[in-house]
Structure 1
């Protein structure tokens, strides 16, 4: 809200905006946050009004971020992490909330059914969602803070392997094949993608901290990018069959004792049904 010449951004609209950026969809964000699409739209419009700039624009079946939106999403994630870390530090024994942490790549296809399972099995628990890099998700697991964590990392003694996920090159028809749009380090997908190009000339045209920035740059034709094949191709991009194959990356899930063994089993079964070998062959 406005206070004289000072603009103050509320946490709730920022959380909605980060979810919209991750899902590229008002509906996807609404489903994940258990809000209505009109509520999500109001949150975005409020942020745009407070900041005096446009943050999202329609694109295909969903939305895309403007340059101002790209700037805000990175800062918003940092603000939300600081906020959530502060709440956790000062209320360590709060029991009415569950944290679902997931790699951004899992947002559209895998996060909604996980949240649905929690809502059905633990209806009295509020669910908080954090979408971030797999390395950061792993940190939340190591700190015993994430109640369900979806990571593109090898399974640990406390996590369960779901499936090996194919990684493909994506781009536009006219994108230069020797110019790359990649996540900044650390990133397993980046590592495997670069390894597949051994002996070929290439240059990193853009490094990105977040998935939305990767997709925006690739859609603009700046270069090609490597993405795990979870669900359909992103709007405006398609698989590039003229590029070398890339090694798979493992998808694993970790759950805390707070969700229980039965919920853990339900989550694992659902995820395996969605991205197991049979399902992945159907998507190929």
Structure 2
């Protein structure tokens, strides 16, 4: 096993290209750094540095050990940092459905990270069904997403209508299969829309599948399909169509937080931002 103190001196010598400069950087004497290199060479069983009066270069064995030395020291730093973290700090893996990918929510995440540098926030944006499956597999700590049905426990944030969105100029002709623009499976909006159409006996065909709301919005705006969409996401470039066009009613969407929430302060901030800026 290589001594990390010896490895640190070796890496510093390699970086500085000089025993003198390495000693200054490490706050050691030059003789101490030279002694560290000799001991490390004994442990390695090979010469690591070629010394001349004017230059210093690594041997082939030294080049090999340098990569390992840097990795070992990095792992040591990481282990020490994780073990010395105050309670409540550490990695937090968040799943946000596309509906929550709003600038204000992102700003809250950034601001929280600046105030709590010991909390490593990682963010995954996706569709609700995929995020919930990742939560169940232990890949996420909590998820903020919408649902139309389900018994999964969650912290309810708000509810709103799920509506049919179409291009303002688009005529709905139920004598033909209704073109749909939807998210990929599994998606609660897609499931609710297909179930409602099937129950009402309305023929349909999926014409556009997009993994994000921007793609679905663009497809609807272009008239490529009608989409099930939370009412608040229907802007002035789209129109809400429904019973007058012969389309069945859709269920409400409940936006909620699912999973073990930690740290609580971050969850409270995100929920507050979501309610104020999205709900």
- State the shift of 1:170 in Å: 1.0
Aligned counterpart, 2:270: 267
How has the CA–CA distance of structure 1 residues 152 and 169 changed in structure 2, closer, same or farther, with 3 Å as cutoff? same
- Contact 1:97 1:126 (8 Å CA) reproduced: yes
- State the shift of 1:117 in Å: 5.9
1:252 aligns with 2:256: yes
Count of equivalent residues: 183
- State the shift of 1:172 in Å: 0.8
Listed one character per residue, the Cα deviations across residues 227-251 of structure 1 (whole Å, up to 9, x for unaligned) are: 1234x53573232254443111221
Which of 146, 150, 154 aligns to 1:152? It is 146
- State the shift of 1:176 in Å: 4.4
How has the CA–CA distance of structure 1 residues 176 and 97 changed in structure 2, closer, same or farther, with 3 Å as cutoff? farther
Listed one character per residue, the Cα deviations across residues 174-202 of structure 1 (whole Å, up to 9, x for unaligned) are: 33423222223322111222333333533
Tell me, in whole angstroms, the C-alpha distance in 2 between the residues paired with 1:213 and 1:131.
Answer: 14
- Contact 1:117 1:263 (8 Å CA) reproduced: no
- Contact 2:208 2:219 (8 Å CA) reproduced: no
- Contact 1:205 1:222 (8 Å CA) reproduced: no
SS of alignment partner, residue 170 of structure 2: coil
- State the shift of 1:254 in Å: 3.1
- Contact 1:176 1:223 (8 Å CA) reproduced: no
SS of alignment partner, residue 163 of structure 1: strand
Aligned counterpart, 2:102: 108
Alignment of 1:1-284 (within 5 A): 97-108=91-102, 111-112=105-106, 114-116=108-110, 118-119=112-113, 122-153=116-147, 154=150, 156-157=152-153, 159-177=154-172, 178-197=178-197, 198-211=199-212, 212-230=214-232, 232-234=233-235, 236-241=237-242, 242=244, 243-254=247-258, 256=260, 259-276=262-279
SS of alignment partner, residue 115 of structure 1: helix
- Contact 2:99 2:145 (8 Å CA) reproduced: no
Runs of 5+ unmatched residues, structure 1: 1-90, 277-284
Runs of 5+ unmatched residues, structure 2: 1-77, 83-88, 173-177
- State the shift of 1:209 in Å: 4.2
Structure of higher CA gyration radius: 2
Q: TM-score, normalised by structure 1?
A: 0.53
SS of alignment partner, residue 251 of structure 2: strand
- State the shift of 1:221 in Å: 0.7
Tell me, in whole angstroms, the C-alpha distance in 2 between the residues paired with 1:186 and 1:148.
Answer: 18
